Structure formats: structure tokens, C-alpha cells
Structure 1
């Protein structure tokens, strides 16, 4: 780092560490080995759309690297957008971009040290392909670093229409300029190509060896509240995500590395119920306040942050949600007809599986790549696994294939392992519910279940934000996509097959949860009925059936993230009960659930991901429910999955942020109360 620029505005008071949901004293024995790389378009994308993920990774001691693709120079006016006199301020694109960089460094410094004034060391680095970037490293926490690539947008004039990173990705522009900013060690403008940006990212992945890559939404939904086609997200977000996917695929193919990849929704968060609790929102707000330079720091040069945001972070709707584009499922741990458990995850665009050698034993085969690359495309990080009584095991996912002019083709794909077979067959495309170039890119994440007669049912949200289904009546014999109805459905259906062989599917909308079900095995699905959840669900629900035919729906309450459970009696069993509050509130995403025995909601076993994993369920001698702390100590991605082992006891699986699954089995010998989940088994 010798010869670099040290950024520090000393002499001002330090901020106290932000009180929030992260317990920095908690044990995370794997965290120091983890490397999180965020690739974003603008300096606030991570603070709005990915946090609290960045904050938690820093607090746990993981290596955190964020790459900013664009200069983010906007209109070049660093004045509150609510200030009516802002147009009197001269335009200065470089100064505004530099101020945003300063704010971004300050926010990361505060996340890592508690002080926005902590010093940074910056230097110019030349990456593979020739692009020169500014690399800023936090002096007191060198495992935290930022890279500014600073691709600029072209000024909008009759001779030079708008052009930026989106046009560079699509090929509409062969080259793009960078924007030097005041004080940066990169002092000259560069002209770079699409391939140079990809090579720069591949180089950075090689330097920082990510276990997790986080980026934005490559295929954002349209604004359903407006007529015609109006995209909901920023064009830079979409292009950045596509650059990232190409770079991860190249890095994977060259090195064999398989990081997990997650995509975060951008502006589309505003359409749906808010999914974060008050603690997470408050912590995000404080770091955004620092980024905006609105945290009472003295700033004589008026370049400490992004003043366009003003002093109140809560005026932006972006702050209230952090939502994955590909809503995770909880059915990726599945038990086959032979009693063996298997689990399937997506790493670096490929599906990878593990399986028990013998039912109930902690000896597993794997990892086995299900997608061997022969079929092309990129598997997105959403997968539904289900097994039928006939011994077949099904995987249903989404495959993304690059198309010309920056486009892409998304299709629902299916792979099956036949009864007694050692391996899955090749992926087969089921197409999608929509055919237009724009429409088909908005296909939702799939849910799948096998009914009592062995028919596979697949469900997805379509472009119109209704529910569609496609059914495999015989092996390889598929019906066409059928409309089931529904409007303004959230993405992420959940499907189950009841003990008597009927299919039921649940999808939240903006006001509650909708339920479609067969009245009898093999019958038509009824129109979606509205469930009285008592609170709007924020994201995908999970569902389990009891031993007496009742169904429980578990969901997170909007605005609080608290976990609620709604019991639905079996047909003819009376009215639904009122929802039960199971606690929570410190995380996002679906909650894994099992109902292995008993006839009360207290007999439900749940595992949720928050600051740490939390498991709840029945325990002898402790009343109706208990929490088992044995699941602490791992940094996990997305949510858990639960299944019954061959002996009928619960097994929980998680995907660690190192890309390795872990399983834990319920035992009556764990914990002081004689019941709970035992130690983790790394696969």
C-alpha cells in the first residue's frame, strides 16, 4: 500500500457504534474464513438493498469487499433533492461522484469501527484487461475494502444520447469513459470496453476469492401500477447484475471455484409489504445517514457524502426492505422413497447435491454436480426439490441464458432421478408462462410437489403477477401452462401434497395469503381463497401438515418480521384458529417448518434465520414450546430446510456462507431439557 492516499478527516468526534441487531460478541467460528464480495452500480445500492447483510458480515469478522461499477454522478448537483433552490447550484459531476465515494467510505468505516472518521488508504491498481481502479482499504480493518471503477454516463445531448453501463453491456456502445474524481489516485480518464469490465471483475474475484457474491437484479419486474411496459428498476442495476453473472461464470470456468451468488431487488422493493423489523431498519438508517453526510460531522469542504438524500433516511421507501430477487424456498432437503435424505443447492450457476449413503446415518455422498454444463445457461439461486411415492426425485429451477443485445432467456427447467437410478437425467426445459422478450424474463421462482398419483405439479408467478401451473401427467408428458388466477401476487408460491394425495398451494399477495387446493385427489384446483392471516405476510410462506390432516401456514409479518403461524383445519374440521405469534423479528426470508406429531401449533418445529439461527418447538418439561440454542455458531445463507429422517425425527439443513451444507439431527439427549438439535455435521 505504500504511496497510497490516506483518507481521514481527523479532529471531529467519533460516532458511537450503532445499536442494532448484530451481537458482535456471539460465536461465529467460521466467519473469519468467509469472503463476501458485493458488486453494485452506485455507492448506496449496498446500504439500501443488501444491508443488513454487509453490516453483519463486517461485524462477524469476515472479509468484505465491495466493487462499485459506475461513477454514480447523476445530475452532478450535491444538494437535497427536496430543496427547491438546488438548480441554482452549478453542476459538477466529478465533485458529486467524489462526495458519494467519501460518504461510502464513511459508512463502511462506521460499520467496521464505530467511527465514520476512521482512516482509509487508497491507491490506483491496474486490473486484468487494463482498467485502472481506485482501491480503498480501511486501515484499522484491512479485511474491509472498496474498489471504484467509475464508469460514467454519457451526457444527454442531441448528438450524444444517454449511454452508460447498460449500453456498454448490450453492445450499443463499444467503449465507455471513466470519470476521474477529486483526490483520487486514479487521475486520468480511461476508455474501457465491455470485456475489460468483465476481466476486471474476474481479476477481483481471483484476488479476494469470494465464498459469496452479492449483486443486484438482472431481470427486474415491471411497474404493474402503470399502463404499458415501465421497468421498475434502474438500468445501471440491471446491467451491473449481468456483468457480474458473466464474470462469475468466467471465474468459475477458469478456476473451478463455486461461490454462492445472491441477487437483491432494487427499486421494486417499494411495491411489496415491508419485510424488515424495526431494529434492522434503524441500523440501516444510521449508516445511510452517515453516507449522506447528515450525521453532524463537520465538513468544511461540503463533500462528506451524498447530500441529495437529505437528513432523513426514512423518507426513502427503499430502506424498509431487503429482498432477494429469487425468493428462497425451504424444500431443498428431501427424503426419498428409500428413506435416504438428500439436499440440493445452487452454487455458481450449477446445482450441486449431497445424499445419505444409508438412511439415518451421517455418511453422505457428494458434492455431485447435477448441472454438468452440457445444457448451457446459468442456474439461478432458486430450487424446489420433491420426491414421489414412486421413488422418483424431482428438481425444478430457473435457468438463465444470455441472448443478443444484452437480453436473456429464462425458462423453468426440470431434472428427475428415476427410482433406483444413481444419477439425475439431463435438465429439460418447461419454457415459461409468457413468451414476449420482456415478459418471459419476469417469470417467478418455482414451487413443485408430487401428488398421490405421482403427477408432478409446478407453480410459478407470471408476468401479470398471477399464478400459473404446469402438470406432468405421465413421465415426460406435460400439460400446457394453465392460469389459476390471482392478482398482485408476491413472488414465491409454496406447494404441498396432503396425506390423502391432494395438492394445495399458497401464495401471499399485498393483503394476505391466497390458497388454492384440490377438493379431491386429481381434481381441479379451486380459485384462490383469502386466508385470514391477521397481518400481511412479507414474502414466501411455508406450510406443513399435521398428523390429523390440519395445515399450518408460517409467515413473517410485514413491518415487524415476527413469525406467525396460522392453523387451517382439515376439510370439515371447523373454522381456522387465530394466528399465533412465534416471536422472531430479527431476520428476513421464509421459515422452515415441520409438524411431526401432535395436534397443536405448539407441536410445530420451526427454524428461522436472523442474526443467528433460532429453532423452536415442543420440549418435554418446558411447557408448550422451547428454543434450542444448539444451532448457533454458523454464518448461513438464506433460510434453513427441515425434513423428517428415516426414523421420523426432524433434521435441519443449512447452507453455510462458505458454500458447504450442514445438517443437524433432533435428539432427546441435546440440552439441559433433554431434547433439541444436536451438533452440526459438515458435508
Structure 2
């Protein structure tokens, strides 16, 4: 054990700053609370539609799948835009243009197979092919668009900008240079008789925005805008492709505010735990190796393939998951759900009588927000929602102040360096005296913390460094029954654990915590008797595991797996009125499944699929009627809820508000 006193919360019983005098910079916005006064209905979201934006012709099947496979299988309108022609193939005998054409055939074959289309030439257009080829105009630029003839809501668009290594254009590095405005414009390649176009930086953003507008995107999926430099390096085109997609989504959200942006890690997922079950791995491998790969002469089996493509086929990781801590209740027994859409924070309120108010748009603190938000309560019961800006990556909060809400900037432990953009979204819990404490993964792979100086007050000025190495993603923390915080963080190979030996004090590190690679984020549950259980997914199977305390405040055992129905993402936990812990997961079919302890403090039972479809993780709460309620966001941008009945079964999903 070792003391890490720098992260001690140092209680201030008197004389701390009031909420109005917060140490953090505060911006104030006034919004009517759902339970206090009338609210204006937010804009109505369109039907379900996903626009994927990637750099190259294999980035979607490698890094956005199995989500891509699920959305097509579930008949959700899908448009994928490939920004570059992907024409660079070192040592290839084909010309760059012919290689790009061949890769496009691989894309068509992969998508037709994902859509279950048979009886035609899957990689071809025309009378004998599966595809209809048209020339479309978006923002005054002509592009080639292929639509599945029998499933016209599946389409792919090729923009054909030069790939990074093609030095014939702009001496190489075209996409990065275009984003940085170090070149004024670029021509596209002449691929498959596509008309050659010229793009400026702004025009490329406009074209992507026009595609999102034309197909009424409710979800935009893109690549990693800020890869983790502690892991393997990324391709030079991936980051600018993600930044262009994000800029287009920001412009699109000005008229369609309810769109959701999801970014995905790329090359470096090979360094993380396998987070797909065998069936999902097989489906992804089939699409890539049997449909796309025969058309890509650059991709060949061998040692390099085994260290890259074979590993990518087994994994998919979102950069900023929504998480599972975005629902809470207030003192009047209203349920509140907070979801980021279009970079702004929306709030849904369910009253004790079961009626829902229309969603409230709280806006943002001056810049778009990341998806992951965490809801906590100050000691006086007021709600405080924590999140992260996407410009500075600073941690922010939205807190109640009477009948209004105010934004506060809590800062970033790596301000002033490139590492600031690799700081995680926050986890928050309460100290024994009621003061909130924030935990983040810092940009160097350790954990940093801030805490309130006084109860209900502002946060300390500097971040405390708690140490740790190779942490990945958001940490997880919870307060014990005797007022002590226990903190957990996943790493590439295991789990870091800290704990307060006394309430409101500093933290010790636990070097004896059971080690196993986590294939998702971590979620802490509290059993009826006060013991903690740490839930995550098992590497290689995606089954749900629990590592649990043998006695209250004592040693840990596990991890032990208790099954699941596949899928990717964090585990949701809710403790019902009987004291049993319920676990829920985003399953392999795109829906939500649950398992519950057979009795308080006992093992978990089998898994049940509630059906329906969700974009990502659910959140849960025990409602004022004593029943467990799960909530999730669908591809249409609406919040849905399902309530558990007296027979433990969950009802069909219903829209909220």
C-alpha cells in the first residue's frame, strides 16, 4: 500500500466559497425546470438515419463495425462517405486509380453482404449487379453514389480526394494540409469515370453537411480526432477525416440539433482487449476477409496482417462512450435523464405520476460537448451534471441555482499541452461529508482528481495527481456505507484500484486487486450488505464479469463471468427496492439485455433481451413507484424507457416526452 496524499479532498467545514463564488469560471444560462414551470418542446428529430464518414474504403468495416453491421441488419438508413480514394498501395502492380476502383468493388461486396442481398453480382452496378450508380450533386460538387437496388436505404459515396501518401497531389499529406489550411484546395482523382472535382477546406465541410442534410442524419459516426499517443500511431488521414466530419456535424446540428456524433478509435484498438464475442468476430471477419479483402491487393496474410487486420477484426471501441450514469432522481421524486445531442445537453423529466415533460435544451458552455456525462448531487440535493468540452477538452459542470442552471469550467489537468485532448470524460462521487469529487484519466495515462473545497461549494484550483499508468478511458468510483471512496480505472492489461482508508481523506493504492484485462469500461455496484462489485466485460468473450468484495471493506475475489448476450459497451447497474442488483448491457443485436441477482447479495441469474434497438449504453434508476426503469436512446434521437413489472419482466420500450 502507498499513500497518495496529493489527491486528498481536504475538507473545509467553514469558510469555503459559496456556489456563486465558485473557483471555476462560471457562465450562467436560465432554463425553466420541468417540474417548476412550462417548457418549450425541442425540435422533432427525423427518422432513423446514420451517416458514416471515414477516410478510406476499409475504415468502416474495420473500426466502425460491428455497429455498422448491426445498423444495416436492423434496416436503419445507412450512408457511408469515403473522403479519400485510398489509392496508395506500396509495391502494388496496379495504378493508383485502378487500385482505388478495386477497393470500391470491395466496399460494394461488403455492404451487399451486410444487407443480406443475394442473387446478383454483389460488387457491381447495373442490370446484373446489386447496385444502382448515380451522380449526385451536394453543395455544388458532383459525386458518385451507389445505392443497393433492393435496399435503397443503404448507400455509399466516394469523394476520391488524394490519399496521404499520394505525392502526385500537393506533395502528399493532402487531407491534413487541407484541414490545416496549408494548401488552398485540391483536385480529386479520376476513379471509375467519376467527374474530377476541386475542394477547398470549407467546401469539403459543406459537402459532408449536405450529405447529412439530404439523408436527415440522426447519428453521425466518424474516426478518432485525437488518438492516444501512448498506443500505436494512427494513419495520417484518420484524424483530419474525423475533424472534417465533426465540423460538418456541427454545421448540420445548427438546423438539426438532435443529431448524435460518435467517434471511434482506429489503429490503436489492436493494443486493447478483445471486446467482441465469437459470433461478432466471425461476422466481422467474414465481411472483411471474404468480401472486401479479395479486392485489395495491398492486404495480404502474414505477420503484419496478424498484428493489425486480424486484431482489428476482433475489436471496436468508441472514443467517448455515453456511459451509464446520465439518469437520476430529485427530491420531489422526478426522474431526470441527460443526453448530449448536437453538442448540446438535453434533459428529459418524468414526473411521479408517470407523465413526461418535453425535452429541455440546456445548450452548451460555448463549445460542443462530448457524449459522456455524469450526474451527481450536491449535499443539499441539487443536481450537477458533469461533462467535457470538445474544443479545450476541459471538464465542465451544469449545476442548479434556484430555478435556473449555470455552467462552470472545472479545467483540464493537462491544459496547455497536446495531452489535454486525451483526458477522459469525468467520473464523480460523493465524500462522506457530502462534498463531490471528480476523477479523470489524464493525458499521460494516470488519474487526476478535483474536489469541492466546501460542501456545495466550488472546486479546488489545481488537479491532484493520483499516479497510475496506462489507464484507458473513464475511471469509476463509489462511496462506501461508512463514507469512504473506492476508485477504479481500467488499463490495457488490468485494473487500478485506490481507496480512502478514512472518510474525506487521502487515497491508498491497492496492489493486491485481482488483475484481468477489461473489455469495456468499469461499473461499481453496491450489494445490499454494503459489499462492492466491479462489473465489466471479459476479454475475448464480451461476457459480463464481476470482481467482488468477500466482506464489507475487505479483500476482493474474481473476476467471475456470468454470461451475457454479446455486444459492446459498459454495464449498467441498478439496485432495486428489494436490494438486488440488476445488470444491463447493450447486446449483440443492438438491443438491451438484463440479468438480476437471484436474491440480495447472491449470484446473478440468466440474461433476457428486452428487444428494441439502442444506439449505445442504457442507464437505469429505481423510480418513485419502486420499479426499476431502464432508459436508452434510439437511432431516431428519442429517449425510450422500459419499466420492470411485478413479474420481473420489462415492458416494451416507450418514447419519453
TM-score normalised according to structure 2 size: 0.85
Is 1:646 equivalent to 2:624 in the alignment? Answer: yes
Counterparts of residues 236-255 of structure 1 (less than 5 Å): 236-253=237-254, 255=255
Query: 1:607 Cα deviation (Å)?
Result: 0.9
Q: Deviations over 1:163-211 (max 9, x none)?
A: 3111101111110110111x33x23x22210111111111111110012
Which residue of 661, 665, 672 maps to 2:639? 661
Aligned to 2:272: 272
- Cα offset for 1:609? 0.9
CA distance in 2, matches of 1:342, 1:216: 31
Superposed CA deviations along residues 203-259 of structure 1, whole A, max 9, x for unmatched, are: 11111001211111111111357xxxxxx2222111111111111111121x23411
Distance 2:165 2:483 in 1: 61
CA deviation profile, 1:339-382 (whole Å, cap 9, x unmatched): 32211011111111112233xx32122311122x5x32111111
User: What is the match of residue 166 of structure 1?
Assistant: 176
For 1:84, the equivalent position in structure 2 comes to none
Go from structure 1 to structure 2 and tell me whether the alpha carbon gap of 1:190 and 1:595 turns closer, same or farther (over 3 Å shift): same
- 2:339 alignment partner, SS class: strand
Residue in structure 2 matched with residue 631 of structure 1 by the alignment = 610
Deviation at 1:109, TM superposition (A): 0.9
Pairing partner for 1:414 from 392, 397, 400: 397
* Matched-pair contact (CA < 8 Å) for 1:275–1:588: yes
Return the alpha-carbon distance in structure 1 between the equivalents of residues 164 and 186 of structure 2.
8
Gaps of 5+ in 1: 1-31, 78-86, 226-231, 295-304, 402-408, 669-673
Q: 2:338 aligns with which of 344, 360, 374?
A: 344
Which of residues 208, 217, 220 is equivalent to 1:213?
A: 220
Counterpart among 635, 652, 657 of residue 679 in structure 1: 652
CA–CA distance in structure 2, aligned partners of residues 569 and 397 of structure 1: 34
**Contact kept? 1:103, 1:290, Cα under 8 Å:** no
Structure 1 residues 272 and 619 mapped into 2: Cα distance closer, same or farther (>3 Å)? closer
| 1:457 and 2:437 aligned | yes
Figure out how many residues of one structure are paired with residues of the other and give that number.
593
Q: Contact (CA 8 Å) 1:630, 1:679: kept in 2 or not?
A: no
Q: Deviation at 1:454? A: 2.5
Kindly state the Cα deviation for residue 385 of structure 1 after the two structures are TM-superposed.
1.0
Runs (5+) with no aligned partner, structure 2: 1-45, 124-128
**Conserved in 2, the CA contact under 8 Å of 1:562 and 1:582?**
yes
Does the 8 Å contact 1:163/1:173 carry over to 2? no
Q: Residues 153-192 of structure 1 correspond to what in structure 2 (within 5 A)?
A: 153=163, 161-181=171-191, 183-184=192-193, 186-187=194-195, 189-192=196-199
Native 8 Å contact 1:274 1:538 kept in 2: yes
Following the alignment from structure 1 to structure 2, what is the Cα–Cα distance between the partners of residues 569 and 479?
Answer: 38
The 3 A distance-change label for structure 1 pair 652 and 363 is same
Which protein, 1 or 2, shows the higher relative CO under an 8 Å CA cutoff with sep ≥ 6? 2
- 1:628 CA drift (Å): 6.9
Query: What's 1:120 paired with?
Result: 131
List aligned pairs for 1:54-133, cutoff 5 A.
54-75=68-89, 87=91, 89-90=92-93, 92-115=95-118, 116-117=122-123, 118-128=129-139, 130-133=140-143
Q: Tell me the equivalent position of 2:593.
A: 614
Q: Displacement of 1:487 after TM fit?
A: 0.8
> 8 Å contact 2:88–2:165 — kept in the other structure?
no
2: CA distance, partners of 1:199 / 1:636: 29
Contact 2:562–2:604 (CA<8 Å) still a contact in 1? no
- Partner of 2:556 in structure 1? 576
Q: 3-state SS of the aligned residue for 1:203?
A: helix
* 1:274-313 aligned within 5 A: 274-294=274-294, 305-310=295-300
What is the aligned counterpart of 1:391 among 381, 391, 415? 381
Aligned 1:143-542 pairs, distance under 5 A? 143-153=153-163, 161-181=171-191, 183-184=192-193, 186-187=194-195, 189-224=196-231, 232-253=233-254, 255-294=255-294, 305-310=295-300, 316=309, 317-358=311-352, 361-371=353-363, 373=364, 375-401=365-391, 409-418=392-401, 421-425=402-406, 427-474=407-454, 475-533=457-515, 535-542=516-523
Question: 2:387, 2:395 within 8 Å by CA — same for their partners in 1?
Answer: yes
TM-score for both structures, normalised by structure 1:
0.82
Whether the aligned pair in 1 keeps the contact of 2:143 and 2:159 (CA below 8 Å) is yes
- d(CA) in 2 for partners of 1:261 and 1:131? 24
Q: CA deviation at 1:649?
A: 3.5
Q: Contact between 1:485 and 1:528, CA under 8 Å: does it hold in 2? A: no
